[in-house]
Amino acid sequence: MTDTIAKAQAGDRAAMNAVLREQLPGIRRRVHRYVRPPASDDVVQDVLIAVARGLPSFRGDCSLSSWCTRIAVRTSFHYLRSTQNIIPFPEDFEPVDQTSAAARFDARDDLRALERILATLSPERRMVFILQDVEGHSAPEVAELLEIPVGTVYGRLRDARRMVQDALTAQSLRSAGGAR
């Protein structure tokens, strides 16, 4: 892949094609977590263009996918902040592995509920929450990705967790009430 990247950096169209195709699934997966369709498709295209334009400046300090992740996160974050776009969750957004954790409960309903809850968060809190609690980045990594101080990450994460927990509790109480 290194040769391909070097060729793509030099402007080789075929190599750039290969690089973009290689990175596309990861970029889509991430962007679709942050941005609601159909805008997510636009943001994916934005990210690909930014990747293609910025590739000559990629120095290999990190893996290409990490570098693309950074671009995907920042582009999505800017988009969310600028449009107040609510969180993505298309009707056909399916868990990949039905035997995994998702299968232990009614995945669709619960995931939709989570989506609705995340949609009530500000883009700042939402991104921090998804990056750290969903994607598993550390707070310093989140700070670096979003270009904010680590202390801000902790503050936003604390708020987001509290709001998500409160909302889930409220929903659970409502469900229990409805069942009686």
Partner 1 sequence: MSEARELQALLRAYAEAEPPPLSPEAEDRLITSVLDEVLPVDVGAAQADDDLLASVLDEVLPLAPDDDEPIVAPRAGANRSLWWALAALALLTFGTTARLSALHDTGAPLALSAATDPNLIVLEAQIGMRFQLVQGRPVDLDFQGRRVHLEGEGAVQVTAMEPPEIVLEQGELNASWSPVRPGPLRVRHANDAVDVHSGTSRVAVKGEHLAWQIVEGQADAAPGAPKLRVHRHAPTEPRSPDAEPRVRLEPAAPVAPEAVAPTPTAEGTADEGTEAPPAALPPAPTAESMYRDAELAIASGDITAASRSLDTLRAEWPDSPTAEVALIELARLHKQDDPRRAVADALAYQVLYPDGRFYDEAARLAEELTTPRQGTSAPRVVPLRLPGLHR
Applying CB under 8 A, which residues contact partner 1? 11, 13, 16-17, 20-21, 24, 28-29, 32-33, 40, 42, 44-46, 48-50, 52-54, 57, 71, 74-75, 78-79, 81-84, 88, 90, 92-97, 100-102, 104-105, 107, 110-111, 114, 133-136, 147-148, 164-165, 168-169, 172
d(CA 90, CA 107): 14
Residue 138 or 172: the one with the smaller Cβ distance to partner 1 is 172
Residue 50 or 150: the one with the smaller Cβ distance to partner 1 is 50
CA angle 107, 87, 126 (to 5 degrees): 100
Q: Which phi-psi region, left, alpha or beta, contains residue 90 (left: φ > 0; alpha: ψ -120 to 50)? A: beta
Task: Kindly state the smallest distance separating residue 131's Cβ from partner 1, in Å.
Answer: 11
Task: Kindly state the smallest distance separating residue 178's Cβ from partner 1, in Å.
Answer: 18
Cβ neighbours of residue 21 closer than 8 Å, sequence gap 6 or more: none
d(CA 48, CA 50): 5
* Cβ–Cβ < 8 Å for 102, 95: yes
Task: Kindly state the smallest distance separating residue 156's Cβ from partner 1, in Å.
Answer: 12
Residue 52 or 150: the one with the smaller Cβ distance to partner 1 is 52
Task: Kindly state the smallest distance separating residue 3's Cβ from partner 1, in Å.
Answer: 18
Residue 22 or 154: the one with the smaller Cβ distance to partner 1 is 22
d(CA 67, CA 40): 19
